[in-house]
Structure 1
Amino acid sequence: MTLHYDFDWSILAQAQYVHWLAAGLGWTLLIGVLAMVGSLLVGALLATLQALPGIVGATGRAWGQMARNIPCLFWLLLFYAGVPALFGSNGIPWDLSLLQFGFACAVGALLIDNTTYVADALLDGIRAVSRDERQAALACGLSERQTVVECVLPQAVRFAMPALLNRSVHVIKNTALCMAIGVPEMMWAAQQIESITFRGIEATLVVSGIYLTLGWGLASLTRRIGGTRGAQEAFR
């Protein structure tokens, strides 16, 4: 079997396409970082709610179960099409440009999609903190709130760190979905290059290589932190 496709990598060296790919990488990282930081904050709140007894905890768990089974693309399209519809003839709210609004929708959608998994990781981390350490903190005069904030949560985050870094890989990969609403991230840039040059294979392979590098780097960091934590636990 012989290939009938002649690769032309020089196309991607043109200044315009290099700029698109670099800008796309910037958008990808910005959306991914903001979505991950936001999901950490909201996920901590959701984990706290899920750990509470009664109707509050049940509501938090029900929301988590629902959000976990809804694809990220649904949230993207819901925000991008639904929010302007709610504002009627006013169109995009808050006087945002189309790009700014798409960016906000992208961050919000990835944040919601990732929050449940972050909450699960933090809950596992909270459960990993021994009861003896909580009782020791209370015996030292700390209040219940201080015990949670100053003793339990820092350790829970440390226990959950490998899982959280794994989730960051998924967030970075899911930014590719944002091309569906016109956000100029890396996959959008690859599609634009393909539509002009008909060299979609080259552009897509380059973008895939960037995703692979980012994912490999985060995975290596996860293994390093996981190994360090394991070594620390072995000597406790």
Structure 2
Amino acid sequence: MNSKLDFSVLLDAVYRHWIIDGIITMLQLTAFAWLLAMVLGTLLALIRMTQNRWAERAVSVYVEYHRNVPMLVQIFIWYFGVPTLLSPAVQHWINAQRSEFLFAFVAVGMCMAAYMSEDLRSGIRSIPKSQLEASRALGLSYLQAFRLIILPQAVRIALPTLISHTVLLFKNTSLAMAIGVAELTYATREIESQSFRTIEIYIVATSIYLAISLLIMAAGAGLQHRYRIKAR
């Protein structure tokens, strides 16, 4: 039995094409899910800071659900459960628009929004209330004060945890393979099943995931250094 590693599998044009397409799909899924998570997470953090009891409870339920239910289960609910609640016409339209990709990025984005909302909420709570009061005294509305004064500072304070959760979001996109999204892990499994070069192809996939994760962390470290709040 030959136990030597043989990476010649990568010379196959079809396999290379699958890997490249898998990386592109993975990055697209990460980008769309991250945008959804940040926009929704910011909105949830602002709602929770309004001090409205019912709004705060609703956001709290949302956060607890998405932080305590496995992401894979949430992906299955979106892909297998949500379409059954829609009309046939809407189901047909969604199926024509890469439904697997659509439901995957929505599920991952909404799940990670719960984590990012808590990151931003912690950042907001660390800012003295006097800044909000001073902003209101200058004539800014509640939303203007948060958008122009409070939120930029909160993002800078929350950068370390936001970056950690960005890396977590990126890694969790691999779960989309469970519903047939042809991202990198899906492509890796398909290549392995056809070439039988298990170790080699998974070493390649691991290296790609590791490289991109390190790039995200390095970019985050650069942002932290550039936008750090200096002690006075």
TM-score by length of 1: 0.90
CA distance in 1, matches of 2:194, 2:89: 31
- Count the aligned residue pairs: 231
Larger mean CA deviation between 196-205 and 128-137 belongs to: 128-137
CA distance in 2, matches of 1:137, 1:91: 49
2:25 aligned residue (20, 24, 27): 27
Residue segments in structure 1 that go unaligned for 5+ positions in a row: none
Deviations 1:100-157 (A, max 9, x none): 0000111011012101101001101111222232233233332333212211112212
- Equivalent residue for 2:83? 84
1:95 aligned residue (93, 96, 106): 93
Q: In 2, are the aligned partners of 1:31 and 1:103 still within 8 Å (CA)?
A: yes
Alpha-carbon offset, residue 75 of structure 1: 1.2
Deviating above 6 A after TM superposition, structure 1's stretches of 4 or more consecutive aligned residues are none
Deviations 1:10-46 (A, max 9, x none): 1112111111101000011000111011011111111
Alpha-carbon offset, residue 220 of structure 1: 1.8
Corresponding letter in the other structure for 1:93: Q
CA distance in 1, matches of 2:71, 2:157: 26
2:41 aligned residue (30, 43, 53): 43
Please give the residue correspondences for 1:213-224 in structure 2 after superposition, counting only pairs within 5 Å: 213-224=211-222
User: What's the Cα RMSD here?
Assistant: 2.1
Q: In 2, are the aligned partners of 1:71 and 1:113 still within 8 Å (CA)?
A: no
Distance change >3 Å, CA 165–CA 26, structure 1 → 2: same
Residue segments in structure 2 that go unaligned for 5+ positions in a row: none
1:233 aligns with 2:226: no
1:129 aligned residue (127, 130, 140): 127
Identity %: 31
Please give the residue correspondences for 1:124-163 in structure 2 after superposition, counting only pairs within 5 Å: 124-163=122-161
- Equivalent residue for 1:68? 67
CA distance in 2, matches of 1:106, 1:144: 34
- Equivalent residue for 1:211? 209
Q: In 2, are the aligned partners of 1:166 and 1:218 still within 8 Å (CA)?
A: no
CA distance in 2, matches of 1:197, 1:91: 41
Deviations 1:152-207 (A, max 9, x none): 11221222222212111111100111110110000001001011110121111111
